[in-house]
Structure 1
Amino acid sequence: MQYQIGHADLKLILALVRGRTLARAAEQLQVDVSTVFRAIRKLEANLQVALFDKTRRGYTPTQSAKALAEQAERAEQALEAARIALTQGENVISGTVRLTCTDAVLRSLLLPGLAELMPRYPAVALEVATSNTFASLSRRDADIALRLSNAPPEHLIGRRLGRSSYFVCGHERYRRGYGPLATELPWIAPDDSLADHVSVTWLRQAYPSLTPRYRCSSMSSVGSLVGAGLGVAALPDFMISSLDGVERLGPALPGCDTDIWLLTRPDNLSLRSVQILFDELANLLKTRIADVCQA
């Protein structure tokens, strides 16, 4: 008869995945090292599957162990949510909510809101995926998306939180060169993975013969290079305040204003955890955007 894996087995695997050594796993489980060693050997024999590879650095989990550890974490979260529900009552919000945004939006807009919001809901687990497209939301791999778009997909619903403008930015020493000599400055721009980005379109139209000195695969990386003083770039207003020493070198760029949307699928709002986080995030972010955009 095939071995039926139990809760104790999942706890054992998760402890060793997290600890990577028998000693750390034993400490988490409050048993001795030999007990962990024997239990893992016995479990692998029962399952007829290798769960860990022993290396000089410790125990490296196989794909099988990683998959089981993921299930163990979900079970752990479910138990914690049940405990909170018992102490806080039936109105507690629990479950896993998946959110997608870009790296730049995560760092400059979303993180301050999450820091304020998530402590209110200790039974909610949040999974954050950074992506430059709407694909993950459309494939149902995410529940909520925070995006910059003037034409969000029609199959999604949401709230327009504000509007962002773009400015050419850089350290103060580049100010004198911006203008007639702008093409001689070291420009930083998104690479071909963001070929349709609004800043790329503007740069191509404003300076058709310009070849950027630096090209990056994300706006977050573009901002990091500008912050390091390596050159100038067209950046959204909400990123500028978080970059030390970076200034706006000119007025808002024409044709680059972009709406900021919090989006979800209509069916997601039937999930209480998604609906509450969606509404509260929208309110927090709208205030944040009003403070940092075009400031």
Structure 2
Amino acid sequence: MRNWDDYRVFLEVARTGSLSAASVILKMDPATVGRRVQRLEHSLGVGLFTKMPRGYVLTSAGQDLQKHIEQIESHERIARGVVQDTDETLTGTVRIGATDGLSNFVLPQVCTVITKTYPALNIQILTLPPVFNLTKREADMAIMVTPPKMGRLLSEKITDYHLHLAAHRDYLQTHGAITDVKELKNHHTVGYIPDLVFDSSVDYHSEIFPERAPNLSSNSVAVQMQLVRQGGGISVIHDFVLPFFQDFERFLVDQISLTRSFYMVRLRDDQSNDRLNRIATLLMDGIRSEVERLESSIL
């Protein structure tokens, strides 16, 4: 193999998507990092990166090389007997695609804990439903409500989560307590914009109110919560969101309850990537624990 240092530089640029970020990890100036990448591309006779507005994106040849180099890196760790060493530093950038509710109310806590333990790791949260493509490395992994059934993707269930009807306390005081399902037709509702629902499994409003559109709607869970806070109506709300809104009250809990699940979705080719495996495990453990903590706090 050619100069291993050049491959090490390539690997950090691939992981961080930035010459400057890689230079901090490698302790060399960005210009030197750039020259090392160019030297490796010249020696291999292929382009490894495409310069995009958001940083350096791997070409298909670059993706193949990264996979190959990380396999060598993993084999070296096995030879040194340190694969299970939990003190080993995680570095570089990892981009996670996640649903809006999870991105707003669970991942901030989980990712902050992870980066406190691994300060050289940079985590980027890409909120769905913007279209992204794991195969093109637009994200390294995704957390979805409906696991994909086709393609080069593999999914692993993380945890269940639950949803119930809730409203602002002032709204219920003004309009009266809701004690029967038949009373729901008399109330304004808040939910997703119907034609922007990216996954039918998160169309909670239609499941409870099949024959009506929400009076107030947004494609953002955070905006929906603000609409409810302003007294805009009742809404189907994640239980893990409610601890952030102490002035919200659930009702008809025994009559209406929804259960969904979060899944970790990754490229099949990444299953041998020790670094991404470790990050995925940290995220899944953190999400599972945080959802359980938040939901249990309202019981």
With the shorter chain as reference, the TM-score category is 0.5 to 0.7
Q: Which residue of 1 aligns with 2:22?
A: 78
Distance in structure 2 (CA, Å) of the matches to 1:255 and 1:157: 29
How many residues align? The count is 215
- Contact 2:192/2:203, CA 8 A, preserved across alignment: no
Give yes or no for the alignment of 1:136 onto 2:138: no
Distance in structure 2 (CA, Å) of the matches to 1:109 and 1:252: 25
Q: Which residue of 1 aligns with 2:98?
A: 101
Distance in structure 2 (CA, Å) of the matches to 1:94 and 1:269: 18
Name which of structure 1's ranges 133-142 and 216-225 shifts more when overlaid on structure 2. Answer: 133-142
Of 200, 204, 226, 1:199 maps to 204
The higher radius of gyration belongs to: 1
Distance in structure 1 (CA, Å) of the matches to 2:240 and 2:131: 21
Q: Which residue of 1 aligns with 2:246?
A: 244
- Contact 1:177/1:185, CA 8 A, preserved across alignment: no
1:125-154 residue CA offsets vs partner (Å, 9 max, x unmatched): 2222111277433543111112223x4445
Give yes or no for the alignment of 1:276 onto 2:278: yes
Distance 1:268 1:278, change over 3 A: same
SS at match of 1:77: helix
- In the TM superposition, what is the alpha-carbon distance from 1:231 to its structure 2 partner? 1.6
Letter in 2 for 1:292: L
Q: Which residue of 2 aligns with 1:260?
A: 262
Letter in 2 for 1:190: Y
- Contact 2:164/2:257, CA 8 A, preserved across alignment: no
Distance 1:251 1:262, change over 3 A: same
Q: Which residue of 1 aligns with 2:232?
A: 230
Q: Which residue of 2 aligns with 1:287?
A: 289
Query: RMSD value over aligned CA atoms?
Result: 2.8
TM-score by length of 1: 0.64
Distance 1:223 1:137, change over 3 A: farther
Q: Which residue of 2 aligns with 1:115?
A: 112
Q: Which residue of 2 aligns with 1:6?
A: none
Distance in structure 2 (CA, Å) of the matches to 1:212 and 1:283: 35
The 5-angstrom pairing of residues 8-47 of structure 1 reads none
1:212-248 residue CA offsets vs partner (Å, 9 max, x unmatched): 2211122232122113332211112111111231111
Distance in structure 2 (CA, Å) of the matches to 1:143 and 1:73: 12
Of 157, 163, 166, 1:166 maps to 163
In structure 2, runs of 5+ residues without a counterpart are 1-15, 29-86
Q: Which residue of 1 aligns with 2:121?
A: 124
- Contact 2:164/2:256, CA 8 A, preserved across alignment: no
Distance in structure 2 (CA, Å) of the matches to 1:251 and 1:161: 24
In structure 1, runs of 5+ residues without a counterpart are 1-71, 85-89
Distance in structure 2 (CA, Å) of the matches to 1:268 and 1:223: 36
